[in-house]
C-alpha cells in the first residue's frame, strides 16, 4: 500500500476487512506523514462524537409543547392599524381607474387589430430609419 491508497482508504478504514486494516497499519509504521494523518483523522472523529452528546431539554419543554398556546393576535390601533387591510385594495382600484381613463374609448387606440397595425407601422418605421 502506498500513501495515495492509504489516503483513499482512510475514510472507510474502520469498516474494511482485516487484511486492508493490516496493510494500513504496516504502511503507517513505515510512513510518518500517513501516521500523522491517521492520528488527525482519529482526533477529528473523537471531537465529532463528543459534539453529538445528548443534551437534556429544559424540564418544562414537554409541558409547553402539550399546551400549544397560540400567540394572541396583535390588535392594531390608530390610523395605520385601521387602514392596513383596505389600503392595497384601494390602491389597486385607483391604478385601474387611472389606466382606464388615461385611454378613453374612441381615442387613438380603437381595438386589438388597430394595436397590431400600429406596432407593425412602428416596426417598419424603425426598419426604414436603419436603412437611411
Give the tens place of pLDDT for each residue, 51-68: 888 888 888 887 878 787
Cα dihedral value 32, 34, 39, 44, nearest 10: 150
- Dihedrals φ, ψ of 125, to 5°? -65, -40
Total structural domains within the chain: 2
Residue 125 lies in a domain: yes
Residue 66 lies in a domain: no
* Residue 89 confidence class, pLDDT cut points 50, 70, 90: very high
Residue 108 lies in a domain: yes
Residue 65 lies in a domain: no
Query: Residue 114's domain spans which residues?
Result: 90-131
Residue 98 lies in a domain: yes
Residue 83 lies in a domain: no
Q: Taking the model in full, what pTM does it have?
A: 0.40
**Alpha-carbon distances of 4 from 20, 36, 90, rounded to whole Å:** 14, 14, 71
Q: Tell me: the pLDDT tens digits for 90-118?
A: 999 999 888 877 765 555 666 777 778 87
How many whole angstroms separate alpha carbon 121 and alpha carbon 129? Answer: 12
Residue 74 lies in a domain: no
Amino acid at each position: 500500500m502506498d500513501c495515495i491508497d492509504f489516503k483513499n482508504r482512510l475514510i472507510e478504514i474502520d469498516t474494511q476487512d482485516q487484511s486492508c486494516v493490516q496493510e494500513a497499519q504496516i504502511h503507517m509504521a513505515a510512513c510518518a506523514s500517513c501516521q500523522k494523518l491517521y492520528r488527525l483523522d482519529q482526533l477529528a472523529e473523537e471531537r465529532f462524537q463528543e459534539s453529538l452528546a445528548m443534551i437534556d431539554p429544559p424540564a418544562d419543554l414537554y409541558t409547553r409543547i402539550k399546551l400549544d398556546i397560540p400567540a394572541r393576535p396583535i390588535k392594531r390601533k390608530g390610523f395605520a392599524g385601521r387602514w392596513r387591510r383596505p389600503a392595497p385594495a384601494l390602491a389597486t382600484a385607483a391604478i385601474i381607474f387611472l389606466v382606464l381613463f388615461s385611454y378613453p374609448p374612441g381615442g387613438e387606440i380603437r381595438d386589438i387589430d388597430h394595436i397590431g397595425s400600429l406596432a407593425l407601422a412602428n416596426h417598419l418605421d424603425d426598419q426604414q430609419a436603419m436603412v437611411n
